[in-house]
Amino acid sequence: MGRFVYVMNVSLDLRIEQVPGDNGAGEWLRIDEELHREFNARAREVAVMVHGRVFYEIMEEFWPRAREDASLPDYMREYGEIWTAKPKVLVSRTRDSAEHHTRVIGDDAIERLAALRAGTDGVLSVGGATLATHLLRANLLDELMIWTHPVILGFGRPLFDDYDQPIDTELLEQRSFGTGVTLHRYAVGAAKADS
């Protein structure tokens, strides 16, 4: 069985975007070569990438072109190759097609994602707050991989949509990078019922 891992860049106040649609691609990010190469290494290990529509559209707009853009550093072109080649699932009610080894699911998404998880070995990376929140509510989200950037945004989209129950997590890994970015991986526990 696979593991759904929500992978996201966040600010210190757990915002994933400041301006609607930047979804982890804003000017506030502190991504240098060392960090990008770490992203690449971890992305290579992913079995399937699962994206919500907004997150997918941000990725598809940039990364397929990036792999052939000679003006970009080699590590960015490399990520473009990785992203384009990986099997992907787009969860969307408004799109019915996508390119770059992507299949689209809309109806019965949670049931279909549960079946995908059961039939996949390895990591299924999750991109998008709405999708991650739905997986959390369905008890399908296994892990968080949070890349925290040393900035406070003060407003913007949070890491998760509103959620009504506390959930325990267990720290699996912690690491710092030269730009002040920290990686925290957490195993997601079961929701605690209100007492």
pLDDT for the residue 18: 76
Residue type at 108? Answer: D
Exposure string of 18-39, with b = 16+ CB inside 10 Å and e = fewer, is beeebbbbbebbbbeeebeebb
pTM comes to 0.92
Residue 190 pLDDT exceeds 70: no
Task: In whole angstroms, give the CA distance from residue 17 to residue 20.
Answer: 6
pLDDT for the residue 168: 92
Average pLDDT over residues 97-115: 95
Structural domain total, the chain? 1
109's enclosing H/E stretch is helix 109-118
Confidence bin at 120 (pLDDT 50/70/90): very high
% residues pLDDT > 90 (the chain):
84
We report the CATH number of the domain holding residue 152 as: 3.40.430.10
Confidence bin at 194 (pLDDT 50/70/90): very low
pLDDT for the residue 195: 36
Q: Which residues constitute the domain of residue 132?
A: 3-191
Token representation of residue 150? 């040393």
> What pairing do the DSSP bridges indicate for beta strands 123-127 and 102-105?
unpaired
Phi, psi (5° rounding) for residue 185?
-110, 135
Residue 86 pLDDT exceeds 60: yes
Decide if 91 contacts 113 (C-beta within 8 A): yes
Token representation of residue 141? 């989200």
Answer with the residue of higher pLDDT: 54 or 82. Answer: 82
Task: In whole angstroms, give the CA distance from residue 184 to residue 159.
Answer: 14
